[in-house]
Chains A and B, each alone.
Chain A
Amino acid sequence: MMKPRHLLDRLFILSLWIAALIVITILAAIILYLFSKGSSFISLDFILDRPQGSPLGSAGGVMPAIMGTIWLVLLALLAAGFPALFTAIYLNEYGSQRKSSRIMNILLQSMASVPSIITGLFIYALCVVRLGWGISLLAGSMALALMIFPVLVVSIREALRSVDSQTRLAAAALGVSKTYSLRRIILPQAIPGILAAFLLAMGYAAGATAPIMVTAAAIVAPAPQSLFQPVMALPYHLYILFNEHVSMQQAYATALVLLILLLSINALALYLRSWQERKQAG
């Protein structure tokens, strides 16, 4: 006969196992379900074709949406990349002990918590209306840039932080200038982590719908030709396909394309990050 206390202990551990199992099951089910529903509608034609049929999108493919998303994301990275890199370097290599850095950290955290629709709202007022860019590729990529900026800073800083601080001290002790040690010692070691940060930000931007919905997206548009025209984008296309009852099949296929795209970007980022960690440890 087991003591009740031991029985309770066993039950407690069992319930934790169940909780973990539930979490993994839910998340695995989502992915498996999408694959089972969407994979039969995906073909090379679907990826390479324009949306066709009536209502438009009920047949054909998603090529302009893929191109639109790629352009939006690349322009956003271009705009946010250097400021984020500089901010992360400043926070980690120059100002980590200062009081002002603490304020900057709080501001960054607040920035990261700004809802993406608010970023869209801000860019809508500033770029679309005040600057007169209209609903456009450029405005959308600015909204995405503002959204990914804090994410980029936080993960680039992680990458810099994981560089062994002994090398910094050694460089300083040998009288190596700050610039030289940054360029030749710290950045090279942090490169995989910084790449991972950029990839994560790319994935985050490619999946975001709310900010581009109000600043850049069109229901139908050709592949981007100008910075000042609206574009199609994969996540918004998915929303339209479902919400306007265009086609469930096309919606499942689009969702799967988006999911595969984002999961592979994220997997690559996580691999790069763990590779850097292993290299640092070994």
Chain B
Amino acid sequence: MQVLKFKSDKVDTFLGSLFLVTAWASVLLLAALLLFLLLESWPLWSRVGVLSFISGQVWLPLSAVPQIGIAPMLVSTLWVAAGALVLAAPLGLACAAFLAEFAPAPLTAVMRPVLNLLTGIPSVVYGFLGAAVLVRFFEVSFDLPSGESLFAASLVLAIMVLPFIVANSEIALRSVLNDYRHTSLALGVSRPYYVMRILIPAARKGIIASMVLAFGRAAGETMAVLMMAGNTMFMPGSWFNQGEPLPALIALELGSASPGSLHYQALFAAGLVLLVLVILVNILLSSFLLPKGNEVKPF
């Protein structure tokens, strides 16, 4: 067969390996990113210790006796993200069920592209509107000195993640076998019963996946929380307190931390905690929840 080997074989092999190498090199940037955060924050971990860094209540990296703990920021992050999910999940799921089962075809044809389009509104615009309108509204109608709160941030984050929840949940609902529908309709089951008892349980993995993804997005979102959560470093006692989630902390302080200082290292450590949180959620997602080849579209 040696005779039949043409020049194109060499080109084929070359291109094939080019694609392979590029793909791995690019994807491994993730490892580089993790490694770099670890490297930049390394001295801090040995000095402060993981546990006291995460559970410490005071963030004073610049004082004579520096105290470094990110518990208030970590709790704020979890609180805004979970709050956003609580607000967005029922509405998103109902909207997805509506689009998948009940909406008349012309309405679906309009709603889906509109929702898709809205994912393109940048977070700074949401944050700006939230701070200019929503926060002002809270101040006026509840007579508060400041309308900024974790709740206000959650509200805006909920609106931001809604289109993603709807889109991914709808995909999950639509991927359920049509046989179930035919069988249940043939048995005279009502469509609401079919949706609640058969469709949604059958699609639950994909639905949960869409929620987890939304949680990750909300936890990592910077601009909206930076402009709405209030940026105070106390441990938030309730949803209606102010707080400073981790992304806001990093965005606000990175510019003023001199490279190599304890402050600088602490910010990278905070970034590492945030990243590990989000990636853990993701790995859990891909290894347990999702069946093969049915990965959620992140965008």
Contacts and interface: CB of A to CB of B under 8 A. Distances in A.
B133 to A, nearest CB: 7
A260 to B, nearest CB: 11
Contact of B27 (A20, A26, A108, A115): A108
A225 interface: no
Contacts of B220: 113-118
Interface stretch (B46-54, B57-65, B176-184, B249-257): B249-257
A204 B95 CA distance: 25
Main secondary structure of the interface of B (DSSP, over half): helix
B20 A94 contact: yes
B251 A210 contact: yes
Interface stretch (B112-120, B138-146, B233-241): B112-120
Interface residues of B, number: 98
B121 A262 contact: yes
A270 B113 contact: yes
Nearest to B20: A90
B94 A9 contact: no
Interface in B1-57: 6, 8-9, 11-12, 15-16, 18-20, 22-30, 33, 36-37, 40
Size bracket of the A interface: 35 or more
A49 B279 CA distance: 43
A15 B195 CA distance: 13
A173 to B, nearest CB: 16
Interface in A61-94: 82-84, 86-87, 89-91, 93-94
B86 interface: no
B19 A114 contact: no
B199 interface: no
A8 interface: yes
A167 interface: no
A214 B37 CA distance: 15
B254 A113 contact: no
Interface stretch (A39-47, A52-60, A185-193, A237-245): A237-245
B105 interface: no
A93 B126 CA distance: 39
A111 B227 CA distance: 26
A83 B18 CA distance: 10
Given A118-B220, A210-B247, A155 B118 contact: no
B125 A34 contact: yes
A251 B282 contact: no
A170 interface: no
B283 A151 contact: no
Interface in A1-57: 5-6, 8-9, 12-13, 15-17, 19-20, 22-24, 26-27, 30, 33-34
B173 interface: no
B103 A20 contact: yes
Interface string A98-133: 000010111111111111111111101110010000
Contact of A19 (B18, B98, B281, B286): B98
B106 interface: no
Contact of A113 (B159, B193, B298): B298
B222 A115 contact: yes
A97 to B, nearest CB: 11
Interface in A152-210: 153-155, 158, 177-180, 182, 200, 203-204, 206-210
Contacts of A262: 120-122
Interface string A247-282: 010010001001100110111001000100000000
A213 interface: yes
A149 B26 contact: yes
Contacts of B90: 19
A150 B102 contact: no
Nearest to B159: A26
A126 B36 contact: yes
A13 B192 contact: yes
A266 B193 CA distance: 38
Contacts of B23: 86-87, 90-91, 95, 104
Query: Which residue of A86, A122, A182 has the most chain B CB atoms within 10 A of its CB atom?
Result: A122
B132 to A, nearest CB: 7
A30 B121 contact: yes
Contact of A179 (B12, B133, B287): B12
A180 B123 CA distance: 43
22 contacts: A6-B190, A16-B98, A20-B94, A20-B95, A24-B114, A30-B121, A94-B16, A95-B23, A117-B271, A118-B274, A121-B250, A153-B26, A178-B16, A179-B12, A203-B120, A210-B251, A213-B222, A236-B124, A243-B227, A255-B128, A263-B121, A270-B113
Interface of A: 5-6, 8-9, 12-13, 15-17, 19-20, 22-24, 26-27, 30, 33-34, 82-84, 86-87, 89-91, 93-95, 102, 104-122, 124-126, 129, 146, 149-151, 153-155, 158, 177-180, 182, 200, 203-204, 206-210, 213-214, 235-236, 238-239, 242-243, 248, 251, 255, 258-259, 262-263, 265-267, 270, 274
Across chains A and B, which 6 residue pairs bring their CB atoms closest together, nearest first?
A: A115-B220, A207-B122, A19-B94, A210-B222, A266-B120, A90-B19
